[in-house]
């Protein structure tokens, strides 16, 4: 790991002042579960780390405008034990699925959104787009955990556990720099980079994700279903987060978002449209799963993820409708 | 077993490293006297070593660290607290588990400088030589180790788990200790040991042949 300076601000204003205009100048330290590993691997080498855990206004989970505000430095353990978070089953399941107790004690909500992809080519120094001598390494390489949607030029999968659930629930994120404050839809925060100089999230080096704003949970039936190789201490192979409004037994609004299948959480628009006006049953949930994976473009080793995605959508829908 | 707080006799690799780091730390604090406290708000410290104070097993320990040093490396290389092990060094195996402010964390993924002002517990404090913690005894009773390298991390993780879940079910033990890996595969013994320590199994009925 390269040596770096350490800033330990007590206020958001001080924290924002400590950041720079490039990622090499300064990066944020929250739970540290990703940035410290990236720095050990020399994939990241900022000259300064800015610890934001002592910035009070970035913490906590509190009611907000009928919904909930989750502070950026709220840990997964806080999310797991918070009563209000239980009213958002899609989030609660995603939270409990994260890695291990130790990681949940350290990792933060903001860090989950800003962590870098787990693609092993990226982690081994081949860049976000994983190229060597200008050629992409993923399509004919070790791609069993890579994208089945939206691939090219980026083939990694978004590692965020909260992202798909937040998008399904229509959450917004608040971002702040020393000179600006903005609010973005969770659905627009995640991006597929087209070049090595772009990032996979809509965040500038001088900005901090300050919090997550969730709309009211009432009337929304949500669920997340995750599929992993190992039960614990592992990344999901595929997840599906869904949020439904049901009136008169029929779906009046549906959000279906897949995780770990694309460089960003992948909104399954065809499945959402299919569900409108339907009652949730084994048959319609299965059909929605089939709709969700239409157009999938698996690579040489990951066609199995298509079937997993189909099943994840089905099971998440049945769970949301209380029929699991 | 030795008292971990007593210095070892003779030459050891770790003693050598510690000697080097104390020199480095002293130099760092000398150079940075004006920026002395790394604990306070706005001040930026490093990249050279700074003097910090860690509260470890109820004792205040002053040590010189660069901001890039992990809590695990500081414990092992500078404070001679070697129960926590460095295995994956990427927060994915659990051998370095320590307790910080009552919660189990991976020592390899916490910066030492970030652990100031917090209550740090290591196995040396939880289960001191000559006065082993009931969990340590239960691990022995249940053959919950083979090579033993993951065992300190498991015992610390189990202690944090039982502190929050004193009467766990078997399934809760599986999830609660899911952050630790044993490559010898002693999970059955570990599970029995944790349940025994929690008084959840009849005494004498837990021997794992």
pLDDT digits (tens, 9 = 90+) for B28-87: 444 443 334 445 456 899 999 999 999 999 999 999 999 999 999 999 999 999 999 999
Partner residue opposite A103 with nearest CB, options B68, B91, B161: B91
Going from the N-terminus, what domains does chain B have, and what CATH number goes with each?
Answer: 13-123 (3.10.20.30), 134-197 (1.10.150.120)
Total CB pairs under 8 A between chain A and B:
113
A6 at B interface, C-beta within 8 A: yes
Q: What is the pLDDT of residue A170?
A: 98
Using DSSP's 3-state secondary structure scheme, residue A251 falls into strand
Q: What strand order describes the sheet that includes B97-100?
A: B59-65, B50-56, B119-121, B97-100, B103-106
Q: What is the pLDDT of residue A229?
A: 94
- Kindly state the greatest CA–CA separation across chain A: 61
| Tens-place pLDDT, residues A51-91 | 999 999 999 999 999 999 999 999 999 999 999 999 999 99
Partner residue opposite B42 with nearest CB, options A2, A14, A102: A14
Bigger pLDDT: A214 or B18? A214
**Predicted confidence (pLDDT) at residue A310 exceeds the cutoff of 90:** yes
CB contact under 8 A, A106 and B160: no
Give the closest-approach CA distance of A8 to chain B in angstroms: 6
| Averaged pLDDT for residues A212-222 | 95
pLDDT band at A324 (very low <50, low <70, confident <90, very high): confident
CB contact under 8 A, A105 and B103: yes
Distance, CA of B182 to CA of B117 (rounded, Å): 32
- Looking up tokens 């008292």 gives B3
Percent of chain B scoring above 90 in pLDDT = 75
Burial of A121 (0-12, 13-18, 19+ CB in 10 A): buried
B34 at A interface, C-beta within 8 A: no
CB contact under 8 A, B41 and A8: yes
The domain locations on chain A are 221-320
Partner residue opposite B41 with nearest CB, options A2, A9, A53: A9
| Averaged pLDDT for residues A41-58 | 97
CB contact under 8 A, A5 and B38: no
**Predicted confidence (pLDDT) at residue B189 exceeds the cutoff of 80:** yes
CB contact under 8 A, A102 and B43: no
Q: Which CATH number is associated with domain A221-320?
A: 3.30.390.50
CB contact under 8 A, A53 and B114: yes
pTM of the entire predicted model: 0.91
| Averaged pLDDT for residues A237-262 | 98
Token pair for B134: 């009931």
Q: What is the pLDDT of residue B2?
A: 44
CB contact under 8 A, A5 and B44: yes
| Averaged pLDDT for residues B147-151 | 96
């Amino acid at each position: 790991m390269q040596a770096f300076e350490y800033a330990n601000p007590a206020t958001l204003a001080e924290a924002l002042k400590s950041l720079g205009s490039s990622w090499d100048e300064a990066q944020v330290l929250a739970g540290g579960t990703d940035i410290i590993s990236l720095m050990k691997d020399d994939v990241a080498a900022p000259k300064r780390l800015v610890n934001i855990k002592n910035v009070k206004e970035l913490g906590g989970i509190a009611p907000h405008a009928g919904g909930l505000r989750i502070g950026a430095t709220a840990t997964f353990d806080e999310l797991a034990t918070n009563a209000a978070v239980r009213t958002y089953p899609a989030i609660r399941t995603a939270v409990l699925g994260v890695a291990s107790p130790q990681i949940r004690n350290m990792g933060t909500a903001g860090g989950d959104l800003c962590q870098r992809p787990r693609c092993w080519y990226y982690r081994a120094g081949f860049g976000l787009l994983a190229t060597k001598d200008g050629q992409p390494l993923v399509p004919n390489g070790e791609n069993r955990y890579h994208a089945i949607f939206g691939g090219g030029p980026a083939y990694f999968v978004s590692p965020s556990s909260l992202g798909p659930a937040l998008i399904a629930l229509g959450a917004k994120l608040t971002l702040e720099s020393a000179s600006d404050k903005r609010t973005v839809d969770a659905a627009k925060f995640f991006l597929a980079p087209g070049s090595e100089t772009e990032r996979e999230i809509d965040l500038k080096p001088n900005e901090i994700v300050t919090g997550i704003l969730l709309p009211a949970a009432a009337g929304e039936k949500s669920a997340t279903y995750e599929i992993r190789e190992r039960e614990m201490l592992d990344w999901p192979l595929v997840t599906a987060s869904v949020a439904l409004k049901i009136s008169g037994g029929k779906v009046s609004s549906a959000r279906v978002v897949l995780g770990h299948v694309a460089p960003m959480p992948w909104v399954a628009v065809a499945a959402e449209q299919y569900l409108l006006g339907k009652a949730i049953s084994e048959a319609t949930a299965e059909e929605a799963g089939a709709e969700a994976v239409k157009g999938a473009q698996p690579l040489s080793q990951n066609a199995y993820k298509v079937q997993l995605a189909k099943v994840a959508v089905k099971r998440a829908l049945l769970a949301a409708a209380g029929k699991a | 077993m030795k008292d971990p707080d007593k210095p070892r006799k003779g030459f050891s690799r770790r003693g050598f490293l510690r000697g080097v780091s104390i020199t480095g730390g002293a130099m760092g604090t000398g150079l940075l006297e004006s920026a002395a406290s790394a604990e306070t708000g706005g001040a930026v410290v490093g990249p050279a070593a700074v003097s910090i104070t860690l509260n470890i097993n109820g004792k205040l320990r002053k040590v010189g660290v660069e901001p890039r040093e992990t809590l695990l490396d500081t414990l092992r290389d500078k404070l001679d607290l070697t129960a926590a092990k460095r295995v994956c060094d990427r927060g994915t195996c659990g051998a370095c588990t320590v307790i910080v402010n009552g919660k189990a964390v991976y020592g390899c993924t916490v910066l030492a400088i970030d652990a100031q002002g917090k209550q740090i517990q290591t196995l040396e404090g939880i289960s001191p030589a000559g006065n082993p913690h009931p969990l340590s005894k239960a691990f022995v009773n249940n053959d919950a180790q083979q090579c033993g390298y993951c065992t300190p991390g498991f015992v610390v993780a189990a202690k944090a788990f039982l502190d929050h879940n004193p009467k766990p079910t078997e399934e809760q033990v599986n999830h609660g200790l899911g952050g630790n890996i044993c490559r010898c595969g002693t999970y059955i013994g570990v599970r029995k040991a944790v349940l025994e320590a929690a008084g959840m199994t009849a005494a004498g009925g837990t021997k794992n042949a």
